Amino acid sequence: MACFTVYLALISVVALAIILTAAIPQDAESLLALKQSLSGYSLNDWRDGDLSNFCDWTGVTSGPQRNEWPDSFMARRNALPGTDLDGRESIRRVIPPSLGNISSLTILGLYLNSLTGNIPKSFGQLSRLTEWSMRQNYLTGSLPAELGNLTSLQLARLYENSLSGSIPIEFGRLKSLQQFEVWNNNFSGKIPEELSNCSALGRLKLQDNQLSGGIPSQLGRLHFLADLNLEQNQLSGMIPESLSNLPRNLLSGKIPAEIGGMQLVTVIDLAGNHLGGEIPASLGNCVELLQLNLSNNQLNGQIPETLGSLITLTDLDLSVNNFSGTIPSYLGDMTALLFLNLSYNHLSGPIPTRGVFRNQSAIALIGNSDLCSSEFPKSSAQLSSGLSNRSKFLIIVGSFAFGALVLTAMVYLYVHRRKKSKDEHV
CB 178 within 8 A of CB 155: yes
Query: How many domains does the chain fold into?
Result: 1
Closest CA to 383 of 334, 353, 344: 344
Would residue 106 count as lying in a domain? no
User: Looking at residue 318, which CATH number applies to its domain?
Assistant: 3.80.10.10
pLDDT in tens, 359-400: 989 999 999 989 986 555 444 333 433 344 444 444 555 666
The one-letter code for the residue type at 189 is G
Would residue 72 count as lying in a domain? no
Closest CA to 233 of 266, 213, 210: 210
Dist. CA 290–CA 274, nearest whole Å: 23
Any bridge partners for residue 317, and if so which? 293, 341
Would residue 225 count as lying in a domain? no
DSSP H or E segment with residue 363: strand 363-364
Domain that holds residue 339: 256-410
Helix H, strand E, coil C: the string for 214-268 is CCCHHHHHCCCCCEEECCCCEEEECCCCCCCECCCCEEEEECCHHHHHCCCCCEE
Would residue 304 count as lying in a domain? yes
Dist. CA 243–CA 86, nearest whole Å: 43
Would residue 399 count as lying in a domain? yes
Rounded to whole angstroms, what are the CA distances from 215 to 159, 237, 411, 413? 21, 8, 64, 63
Q: Which residues contact 106 (CB under 8 A, 6 or more apart)?
A: 19, 20, 21, 65, 128, 129, 130, 131, 152
Would residue 372 count as lying in a domain? yes
Would residue 357 count as lying in a domain? yes
Dist. CA 224–CA 14, nearest whole Å: 33
Tens-digit pLDDT string for the chain (426 aa): 333 333 333 333 344 444 444 455 566 666 677 666 655 555 666 666 655 666 565 555 444 443 322 222 222 222 322 222 233 333 457 888 888 887 777 888 777 878 899 999 999 998 888 999 899 999 999 999 999 999 999 999 999 999 999 999 999 999 999 999 999 999 999 999 999 999 999 889 998 999 999 888 788 778 787 777 888 888 887 777 556 556 666 677 888 887 787 777 788 888 888 889 999 999 999 888 999 999 999 999 999 999 999 999 999 999 999 999 999 999 999 999 999 999 999 999 999 999 999 998 999 999 998 998 655 544 433 343 334 444 444 455 566 666 667 677 676 666 666 655 545 444
Would residue 318 count as lying in a domain? yes
Alpha-carbon radius of gyration of the chain: 29
